[in-house]
């Protein structure tokens, strides 16, 4: 039995062949039911999250007297969630395995401290300093992956212990200082820089074109292989919606100071990992291991190698998130944010990634981070206390996890 998978090509192929066998002379009513069900699968399965985000936006737009959707506030909002978004990509990769990584926030801060230390005290070239931070993240991920994949220690225990240990590493690296200001102009310009109008319009439109080309190519390839394909109206709705959102956001950004470079870096990472997960053997193997590790092993997939690779990628992404956070704040501190890790995991889960593994899409990062960021930003505009923000975000996360469990249970019963 399989759970409903909105983003796993193998499951979609398999279910498509089953539908072809079971529903052969389909009536108009059955076709309508199938189309409605298929509308909630694939990339359009995010519709409930999009509706939730729309309700949040409308509420804060009304209660803040129109400030929420002003270009300046939207620019600030998107830059605020860049670090959460990058860490959430790492969380997605690990969750797709059916594992958990509780060390992401500590890794982000520790690797950022390593970058800042070699930059400030050793006078390293900024790109070498950034590379040092990323390599430190990769080594941490290798260590985590070794204990989890080779020694088979539960990921919850390994990464919880790692979170404590890497917090200690942060203190060792920082020494007696509680805050270290980074003065290198290259590092400081990574996050707060705005793209000029040519790049601000050109890069997103090129990415949008590549996305449309990928969707068309996948549809054509599946059709030639005799597999089920989405209805043309569904594909058109998907592409038109992506184009509309992209153009509106670029227009709003350009009406303020331009498209933030940090936002483009985060979206570029999402696009890259979407291609990797959907179009490469690595992605197919990752979903297979997350769906059933033993079956994947018997099919010849290197489960140990896959887990080590994913944890290395996750910690490297966490290091990048810490570097971007340092660039935006121009300093690194010994105090690790108490909500950064939870917000990163919450963004992935709210976006539809299953906690049980094997189901979800990296695009969940965008929607989940926007939901988390919108709640935080909107409540700040209303001058609400941190206690209120924590309660609201916790309630939204609980609803998302509950919905995931209900959908999974319903899907299993329906098989």
- Measured from the Cβ of residue 242, the count of other Cβ atoms closer than 10 Å reads 17
Query: Pseudo-torsion of CA 222, 224, 228, 234, nearest 10°?
Result: 70
User: Cα(323)–Cα(116) distance, rounded to whole angstroms?
Assistant: 9
Q: What percent of the chain has pLDDT over 90?
A: 49
User: Cα(253)–Cα(194) distance, rounded to whole angstroms?
Assistant: 9
pLDDT of amino acid 405: 66
Three-state secondary-structure class, residue 183: coil
What is the pTM for the complete model shown?
Answer: 0.84
Rounded to 5 degrees, φ, ψ at 181 are -80, 130
Rounded to 5 degrees, φ, ψ at 332 are -120, 140
Both tokens of 255, joined, read 């009406």
pLDDT of amino acid 211: 81
Q: What percent of the chain has pLDDT over 70?
A: 85
What long-range pairs does 405-408 form, CB within 8 A, spacing at least 24? 407/4, 408/3, 408/4, 408/354, 408/356, 408/359
Residue identified by tokens 């800042």 is 116
User: Cα(225)–Cα(273) distance, rounded to whole angstroms?
Assistant: 25
Cβ–Cβ < 8 Å for 311, 145: yes
**Which domains, ranges and CATH numbers included, belong to the chain?**
46-193+260-413 (1.10.3470)
Beta strands in 302-367 (DSSP E): 331-333
pLDDT at residue 77 is higher than 70: yes
Cβ–Cβ < 8 Å for 404, 390: no
Residue identified by tokens 């890497």 is 166
Both tokens of 328, joined, read 């935006």
pLDDT of amino acid 46: 65
* Ramachandran quadrant class, 227 (left: phi over 0; alpha: psi -120 to 50; beta: rest): beta
- Measured from the Cβ of residue 62, the count of other Cβ atoms closer than 10 Å reads 10
Please list, residue by residue across 33-55, b when 16 or more beta carbons sit within 10 angstroms of its beta carbon and e when fewer do. eeeeebbebbbbbbeebeebbee
Three-state secondary-structure class, residue 333: strand
- The pLDDT tens digits of the residues spanning 145-195 come to 999 999 999 999 999 999 999 999 999 999 888 999 999 999 999 998 999
pLDDT of amino acid 12: 42
Query: Angle, to 10 degrees, between the axis of helix 28-39 and the axis of helix 232-254?
Result: 30
- Measured from the Cβ of residue 411, the count of other Cβ atoms closer than 10 Å reads 15
- Band of the pLDDT at 386, cuts 50, 70, 90? confident
Three-state secondary-structure class, residue 160: helix
- Measured from the Cβ of residue 63, the count of other Cβ atoms closer than 10 Å reads 14
- The pLDDT tens digits of the residues spanning 235-294 come to 888 788 888 888 988 998 988 889 999 999 998 999 899 889 988 999 999 999 998 989
């Amino acid at each position: 039995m399989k759970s409903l998978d909105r983003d796993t090509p193998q499951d979609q192929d398999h279910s498509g062949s089953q539908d072809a066998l079971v529903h052969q002379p389909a009536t108009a009513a059955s076709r309508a039911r199938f189309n409605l069900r298929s509308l909630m699968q694939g990339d359009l399965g995010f519709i409930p999250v999009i509706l939730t985000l729309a309700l949040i936006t409308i509420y804060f737009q009304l209660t803040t007297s129109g400030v929420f959707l002003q270009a300046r506030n939207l620019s600030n909002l998107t830059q605020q969630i860049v670090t959460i978004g990058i860490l959430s990509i790492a969380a997605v990769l690990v969750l797709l395995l059916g594992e958990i990584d509780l060390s992401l926030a500590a890794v982000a801060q520790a690797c950022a401290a390593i970058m800042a230390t070699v930059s400030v005290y050793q006078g390293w070239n900024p790109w070498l300093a950034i590379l040092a931070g990323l390599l430190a993240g990769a080594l941490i991920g290798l260590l985590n992956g070794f204990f989890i994949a080779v020694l088979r220690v539960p990921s919850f225990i390994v990464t919880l212990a790692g979170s404590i240990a890497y917090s200690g590493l942060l203190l060792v690296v920082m020494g007696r200082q509680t805050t270290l200001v980074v003065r290198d102009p290259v590092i400081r310009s990574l996050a707060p820089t705005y793209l000029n109008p040519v790049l601000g319009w050109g890069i997103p439109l090129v990415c949008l074109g590549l996305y449309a080309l990928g969707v068309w190519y996948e549809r054509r390839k599946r059709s030639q292989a005799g597999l089920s394909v989405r209805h043309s109206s569904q594909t058109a709705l998907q592409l038109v919606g992506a184009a509309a959102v992209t153009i509106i956001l670029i227009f709003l950004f350009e009406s303020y100071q331009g498209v933030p470079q940090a936002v483009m870096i985060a979206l570029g990472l999402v696009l890259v990992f979407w291609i990797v997960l959907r179009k490469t053997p690595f992605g197919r193997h990752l979903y297979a291991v997350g769906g059933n590790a033993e079956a994947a092993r018997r099919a010849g997939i290197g489960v140990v190698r896959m887990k080590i690779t994913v944890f290395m990628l996750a910690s490297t992404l966490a290091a990048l998130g810490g570097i971007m956070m340092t660039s935006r704040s121009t300093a690194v501190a010994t105090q690790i944010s108490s909500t950064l890790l939870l917000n990163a995991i919450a963004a992935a889960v709210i976006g539809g990634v299953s906690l049980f593994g094997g189901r979800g899409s990296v695009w969940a990062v965008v929607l989940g981070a926007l939901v988390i960021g919108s709640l935080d930003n909107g409540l700040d505009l209303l001058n609400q206390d941190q206690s209120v923000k924590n309660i609201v975000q916790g309630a939204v996360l609980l609803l998302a996890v509950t919905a995931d469990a209900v959908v999974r249970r319903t899907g299993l019963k329906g098989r």
